[in-house]
Amino acid sequence: MGMAPIAHVLWGKYMKYNPSNPKWWNRDRFVLSNGHACALQYVLLHLSGFKEYSMEQLQKFRQVGSKCPGHPENILVDGGIEVTTGPLGQGIGNAVGLAIAEAHLAASFNKPDFEIFNNFTYVFCGDGCLQEGVSCEASSVAGHLGLGKLILFYDDNHITIDGETDLSFSEDVLKRYESYGWHTQFVADGDNDIAAIAAALEAAQKVTDKPSIIKVRTTIGKGSSKQGTEKVHGSPLGAEEIVKVKKLFGFPEDKSFYVPDDVKQVYDQIIPKGQAAEDKWNDMYKSYSSKYPKEAAELARRMSNKLPENWRSCLPTFKPEDAAKATRQHSETVINAIAGTIPELIGGSADLNPSTLSYIKSSGDFQKGTHEGRNIRFGVREHGMASICNGIMGYGGLVSYGSTFLNFIGYAMGAVRLSALSHFGVIYVMTHDSIGLGEDGPTHQPIESLMAVRATPNILLLRPADGNETSGAYAVAIESHSRPSVLALSRQAIPNLKGSSIEGVFKGAYVLQDAEGGKPDVSIVGTGSEVSLAVEAAALLQKDHNLKVRVISMPSWELFREQSSEYQQSVFLEDVPVLAVEAASHVGWGEFSHASVAMHSFGHSGPAKDVFIKYGFTAKNVSEKALKLVDFYKGRKAGSLVVKPF
Amino acid sequence: MGMAPIAHVLWGKYMKYNPSNPKWWNRDRFVLSNGHACALQYVLLHLSGFKEYSMEQLQKFRQVGSKCPGHPENILVDGGIEVTTGPLGQGIGNAVGLAIAEAHLAASFNKPDFEIFNNFTYVFCGDGCLQEGVSCEASSVAGHLGLGKLILFYDDNHITIDGETDLSFSEDVLKRYESYGWHTQFVADGDNDIAAIAAALEAAQKVTDKPSIIKVRTTIGKGSSKQGTEKVHGSPLGAEEIVKVKKLFGFPEDKSFYVPDDVKQVYDQIIPKGQAAEDKWNDMYKSYSSKYPKEAAELARRMSNKLPENWRSCLPTFKPEDAAKATRQHSETVINAIAGTIPELIGGSADLNPSTLSYIKSSGDFQKGTHEGRNIRFGVREHGMASICNGIMGYGGLVSYGSTFLNFIGYAMGAVRLSALSHFGVIYVMTHDSIGLGEDGPTHQPIESLMAVRATPNILLLRPADGNETSGAYAVAIESHSRPSVLALSRQAIPNLKGSSIEGVFKGAYVLQDAEGGKPDVSIVGTGSEVSLAVEAAALLQKDHNLKVRVISMPSWELFREQSSEYQQSVFLEDVPVLAVEAASHVGWGEFSHASVAMHSFGHSGPAKDVFIKYGFTAKNVSEKALKLVDFYKGRKAGSLVVKPF
């Protein structure tokens, strides 16, 4: 209710959009970062004529099966909601990503007289969003990059869930945004002064070298007797109160889910206005297509999320005799090998380029004045980075990636889970993926990170074992447009394995090497840098104990679960005990093994080799544990890990 | 090298500490937020006479078994390192917590003429720390609270790992800190102008109503030919370069790990000076103890981490006939029941008091001017909250807690894992712990959170099933001083269960109810709000299928793993198939069950009951799945889930 005047000014007059085609490429983007106020957004979508937002849908607000859930979800509708918001602060990061995408595509595709991309990104936010670190990070990036088409409305209603904002929030927000390099404005009476809101909006549009924030003083629950208090933040007004509010604003008291005629008349003009704007743009795009057919074809491909044909042929492959390298080094090779074929790939690291090796060498930096650059310098801002990557995916036509040490996914999970929930195929290039990072010590050695990702729905964890599997991991990630991927990559060098393959990665797990002469006595399943250790242990077991050992490489649990039951049973054989080896938390391995060599504590600072020895990641220890496992299952049935009761 | 002059001014002259007693209560606290510069801190600890930092230890820098790991770890030494730092930004949050602790204990225990607590908290940080959202959140809190004894030195060296800071960081930092309400100063020549550094430090000490930031322009790698470049950020200088640097500063070129006599003479004065300061304080404390014996005894108890005797007697217990309530409501009851007995409990929520119900009603707010208050208003700042809670624990004498929705632990994991690594028994009161939160929808419904915590070492996940178990969860958490706890609490009401107990929680898992008449046909293990569902399903199975069903309540995997093998086998019986029920990710349950009714996707917005139906959390579905499990194990051996090969 408090933001309704701002929303009316924006949606009713200034925003460029066509409800008949919610996916028009050059529409202005709108993000409701304070997603709990989504009733407002659903009403605006309904009023302005988005077909999916029927009155029936509005009536099913927050019910199972509704397109109007408790917070806006982009995946429930075909347009109208650009990004999924609600977890506070994310919308601001997403909006920065949307504005980066617009700037990059404009720099890449616009031509003199052809402004194919020139939309604004508008965001609404409240105090909560501004308190969150993720928004602070993203806002600092936006100021640094000078994203002139990003306009943020700050609903300054002085109320949070707990009460007055001055309980915990007494900073000078506009001064802070000035320090970031933003253009700042203040509207003193956001409840009534429509003209001032409009004037501020126009002024913001004219500032093209800086993002804009407009602080608008509003009254929460405007019109109710509880207005201006926390009592209208999360709780319904109640029937009596609603009647009062309707009276105040001159609406019929007895009608609910009702649009008065005068309101209807105003909003009925939106569709023709939006259609006219798009028609004009379509004419331009038609001329563009004839003048620049190559660019237009490329753009059409990208905006429809199609990959170039035979794109996989650019993926490098490796032989066992190739030099042992860290998978982060293979990752650098692969990124740069595919960067030409996949020009929609854009991303960067959280100030770790020399370590995560994720720079696209054939392109330059995305900076103020060089928006065609594909390398984004996110700074030491992991959460902001992930949130921005989501926004870039939300725009369309691009594939975003973000890179840091795997351990610091713990700083960013709030946004990473939203990649998964939003079906945004962001690629997280996470290096230094185990205690094998060595000297930096346990503050930087991930233990729980792999499992935290594996426990998240709709996201792929890919932990490649060598060069071929790194190629495979990128192949999966690039082709996975509606599911994000986390690539877990080693700091330390590991050999290229006999039998490894790109195709194997697509299956999630596969038999890397098998014992000759019948059914194995034991299988060792490993991921990433521990697969080569499994191979070594298998050799020891064969040599010293004459055991038949199968080695399974398992780069992705998620992909393996999606294989046929037959295939699964051909990898994990019935009554063959399985030992897992992974230099990360043991928790979770019960699903795919009978016992594990894994971490039960945090790691330790020291050279990688010594740290591996300390925690038992040696061929000797793995082979000893495998022997114990074999002994244990003498006289017991190991059963099947993949045949399930339901 | 760039921060050495600042460090020399602080450690050599201004900081109040006694290397002979690193745990002196009223020492100034020092935090190296840019923990990668820890060589500096280890050298200072050595020079000033901390016994654990022998030359031999310095020589083992970054080696297995050393007290000088790659980033400072508080747990490796008995004092000298207040908090574990390295993950950027955390140290600033920790310092805010340390300053809050000092202010609170001073307000609680100081008396006229007895300043038992009056120390400063000093922090060093670099650009990276300031870019991180966690530091932004904590700094805003610090400004709001007016923490006058917090002094932050910002090492402004213009260099990050990637290169010049202006690649990604062009904001006006001091202006930003002004917007937070901090006192700001700038020292233009931090390489040489010792007097200016000292003057700024003295000025900062005199500002008692605001925290202070001193931006000091320095040169990274000062003295080497690579000074002022990113080449000296993470890489060693090399032998030749080191010789040059030694020449420049007049050190003997051929000596390493060597302290020149003149340096030694200066730092040899630290111990007597520190001892004198502590002696003076000891005299005062002696008088305090005779004048205020009760306060002194209480303080001694708290500072030694001892709980009051028989403290558990204040824990409420519940009967099955007591009203069904949400465990967050029980949590409110328990917090307020123990708040009087455990006055060291201090904490708050991330602006969710009306929802997480974690306010201590017998106390007031901790605000500027009311530092005796035990309720901290963290604002919508989860990561900052967790980081501050760590700092409070690091001070001693207090038990901190932080509260938000469980899902938003994903915003805070960077700090939560540091609670675990640092052995800080922070209590995380996390409510709305499953899809059972209902209408807010999947953006707020945790799926992966439980498993992310379970996969983290040295932290307890406690998911109580009713009132008694909520009491039990707090009993465990309060008594767990060196291990943090995450309490997962329901939004929705659940009945009090027959057989539930406080003692059961201490065992991690226990038989809540058993079938009569011999060995069970099947066990159902549940946690939290799904235990009552397991009880209902058991009744159905018994009634409709005449099956003998055991119900196991499993509030904590971690505690259960620590029980004797005999006990574990008495709960999870050999060859009895186990079905797990938990309204969260299925991943991980393979350790304690043969199959599960759990989540394989994100949830959905809707009333809790409908959402539970949608995902199969009904007695009917659970009983059907149990039947399938029983059928599956006809002719197969289920084996034992707790008897292990090694």
- Residues of chain B contacting residue A162, judged by C-beta atoms under 8 Å apart: 349, 351-354, 377
Q: At what angle do helices B413-422 and B382-395 cross, to 10 degrees?
A: 20
Which CATH number fits the domain that encloses residue A256?
3.40.50.970
Based on the fold, state whether residues B559 and B474 are members of the same structural domain.
no
Region B469-492 average pLDDT? 98
pLDDT over 90 (residue A233): no
Region A286-308 average pLDDT? 97
Based on the fold, state whether residues B374 and B522 are members of the same structural domain.
no
What are the tokens at A568?
């699964």
Instruction: Answer whether A610 sits within 8 Å of B64, measured CB to CB.
Output: yes
Average pLDDT, chain B: 97
Those residues whose C-beta lies under 8 Å from the C-beta of residue A172, and which sit 6 or more positions away, are B178, B179, B181
Based on the fold, state whether residues A560 and A600 are members of the same structural domain.
yes
> pLDDT above 90 covers what percent of chain A?
93
The residue among B359, B428, B439, B434 whose CA lies nearest residue B399 is B428
Q: Is B67 on the interface with A (CB under 8 A)?
A: no
Based on the fold, state whether residues A328 and A465 are members of the same structural domain.
yes
Based on the fold, state whether residues B432 and B547 are members of the same structural domain.
no
Answer whether B33's CB lies under 8 Å from B85's CB: yes
Answer whether B125's CB lies under 8 Å from B214's CB: no
| Shortest CA distance from B168: residue in chain A | A379
Name the pLDDT band for A164 (thresholds 50, 70, 90).
Answer: confident
Q: What angle do CA B533, B539, B542 make, to 5 degrees?
A: 140
Q: Is B69 on the interface with A (CB under 8 A)?
A: yes
Strands (E), B485-601: 485-488, 493-494, 510-513, 522-526, 549-553, 578-585, 595-599
In this prediction, residue A230 carries a pLDDT of 84
Based on the fold, state whether residues A442 and A521 are members of the same structural domain.
no
- Residues of chain B contacting residue A588, judged by C-beta atoms under 8 Å apart: 451, 455, 587-588, 590-591
Those residues whose C-beta lies under 8 Å from the C-beta of residue A207, and which sit 6 or more positions away, are A148, A183
A186-230 pLDDT tens trace:
999 999 999 999 999 999 999 999 999 999 999 988 888 888 888
Region B261-284 average pLDDT? 97
pLDDT over 90 (residue A236): no
Nearest residue, CB atoms, B175 vs list A179, A378, A441: A179
| Shortest CA distance from A408: residue in chain B | B414
Based on the fold, state whether residues B45 and B90 are members of the same structural domain.
yes
**Sign of the C-alpha dihedral, residues A24, A25, A30, A32?**
positive
User: Could you list the residue range(s) of the whole structural domain that residue B250 is in?
Assistant: 4-275
Between CA A579 and CA A628 the distance in angstroms is 10
In this prediction, residue B618 carries a pLDDT of 98
**In-domain check, residue B302:** no
Measured in angstroms, the CA of B129 and the nearest CA of chain A are apart by: 8
Between CA B521 and CA B514 the distance in angstroms is 11
Q: What angle do CA B322, B325, B329 make, to 5 degrees?
A: 120
In this prediction, residue B145 carries a pLDDT of 98
- Residues of chain A contacting residue B172, judged by C-beta atoms under 8 Å apart: 178-179, 181
Residue A400, CB half-sphere, CA atoms under 13 Å: how many? 30
The residue among A448, A30, A457 whose CA lies nearest residue B413 is A448
In this prediction, residue A161 carries a pLDDT of 83
Question: Domain end: A473, A494, A515, which one?
Answer: A494
What are the tokens at A74?
């982009």
Region A150-167 average pLDDT? 91
In this prediction, residue A221 carries a pLDDT of 86
Task: State the catalytic residues of A.
Answer: 382
What are the tokens at A244?
């009062």
The residue among A429, A416, A251, A244 whose CA lies nearest residue A328 is A429
Based on the fold, state whether residues A344 and A221 are members of the same structural domain.
no
In this prediction, residue A1 carries a pLDDT of 87
Question: Domain end: B218, B248, B275, which one?
Answer: B275
B285-303 pLDDT tens trace:
999 999 999 999 999 999 9
Residue the block writes with tokens 């060098």 = A493
**In-domain check, residue A270:** yes
Torsion of Cα atoms, B552 then B555 then B557 then B562, to 10°: -90
ipTM of the complex: 0.97
In this prediction, residue B228 carries a pLDDT of 87
- With 0-12 / 13-18 / 19 or more C-beta atoms within 10 angstroms meaning exposed / middle / buried, residue A361 is exposed
The length of chain A in residues reads 646
| Shortest CA distance from A231: residue in chain B | B354
**In-domain check, residue A292:** no
Region B499-522 average pLDDT? 96
Name the pLDDT band for A20 (thresholds 50, 70, 90).
Answer: very high
**In-domain check, residue B642:** no
In this prediction, residue A234 carries a pLDDT of 75
Q: To which H or E segment does residue A599 belong?
A: strand A595-599
B55-99 pLDDT tens trace:
999 999 999 999 999 999 999 999 999 999 999 999 999 999 999
In this prediction, residue B5 carries a pLDDT of 96
Global pTM reads: 0.98
- Residues of chain B contacting residue A645, judged by C-beta atoms under 8 Å apart: 594-595, 625, 628-629, 631-633
> pLDDT above 70 covers what percent of chain A?
100
Which B residues 268-297 touch A at CB under 8 Å? none
Which CATH number fits the domain that encloses residue B614?
3.40.50.920
SS3 A626: helix
A144-155 pLDDT tens trace:
999 999 999 999
**In-domain check, residue A287:** no
Instruction: Answer whether B136 sits within 8 Å of A137, measured CB to CB.
Output: yes
**Can you give the three-state secondary structure of B129-172, one letter per residue?**
HHHCHHHHHHHHHHHHHCCCCEEEEEEECCECCCCEHHHCCCCC
Number of domains forming the structure of chain B: 3
In this prediction, residue A239 carries a pLDDT of 87
**In-domain check, residue A638:** no
Distances (CA, A) of A139 to A179, B170, B629: 10, 12, 52
Based on the fold, state whether residues A322 and A427 are members of the same structural domain.
yes
A38-62 pLDDT tens trace:
999 999 999 999 999 999 999 999 9
Which A residues 555-584 touch B at CB under 8 Å? 557
Region A109-116 average pLDDT? 97
Task: Say which of B137, B278, B382, B582 is annotated catalytic.
Answer: B382
Region A167-173 average pLDDT? 94
What are the tokens at B583?
């309204």
| Shortest CA distance from A386: residue in chain B | B411
In this prediction, residue A237 carries a pLDDT of 87
Instruction: Answer whether B447 sits within 8 Å of A439, measured CB to CB.
Output: no
Paired with B125 in beta bridges are B154
In this prediction, residue B232 carries a pLDDT of 82
Based on the fold, state whether residues A207 and A331 are members of the same structural domain.
no
Pairing state of beta strands A399-405 and A345-349?
A: parallel
- Residues of chain B contacting residue A378, judged by C-beta atoms under 8 Å apart: 168
DSSP B36-58: GGHHHHHHHHHHHT-TTS-HHHH
Residue the block writes with tokens 């806002």 = A139
> pLDDT above 70 covers what percent of chain B?
100
B545-602 pLDDT tens trace:
999 999 999 999 999 999 999 999 999 999 999 999 999 999 999 999 999 999 999 9
B219-251 pLDDT tens trace:
988 888 888 888 887 788 888 889 989 998 899
pLDDT over 90 (residue B371): yes
**Residue pairs between chains A and B whose CB atoms are closer than 8 Å:** 408
Measured in angstroms, the CA of B452 and the nearest CA of chain A are apart by: 4
CA–centroid distance for B417 within its chain: 7
**Sign of the C-alpha dihedral, residues B541, B547, B553, B558?**
negative
Q: Is B160 on the interface with A (CB under 8 A)?
A: yes
Based on the fold, state whether residues B187 and B330 are members of the same structural domain.
no
End-to-end, the C-alpha distance of chain A in Å comes to 49
Based on the fold, state whether residues B479 and B551 are members of the same structural domain.
no
Between CA B109 and CA B239 the distance in angstroms is 53
Q: Is B202 on the interface with A (CB under 8 A)?
A: no
In this prediction, residue B223 carries a pLDDT of 83
Amino acid at B162: D
Q: Is B530 on the interface with A (CB under 8 A)?
A: no
Question: Domain end: B462, B494, B526, which one?
Answer: B494
Interface probe for A, chosen from B88, B180, B351 (most Cβ of A below 10 Å), is: B351
- Residues of chain B contacting residue A382, judged by C-beta atoms under 8 Å apart: 132
pLDDT over 90 (residue B337): yes
**Can you give the three-state secondary structure of A41-60, one letter per residue?**
HHHHHHHHCCCCCCHHHHHC
Q: Is B442 on the interface with A (CB under 8 A)?
A: yes
**In-domain check, residue B112:** yes
Interface probe for B, chosen from A387, A417, A560 (most Cβ of B below 10 Å), is: A417
B132-155 pLDDT tens trace:
999 999 999 999 999 999 999 999
Region A527-542 average pLDDT? 98
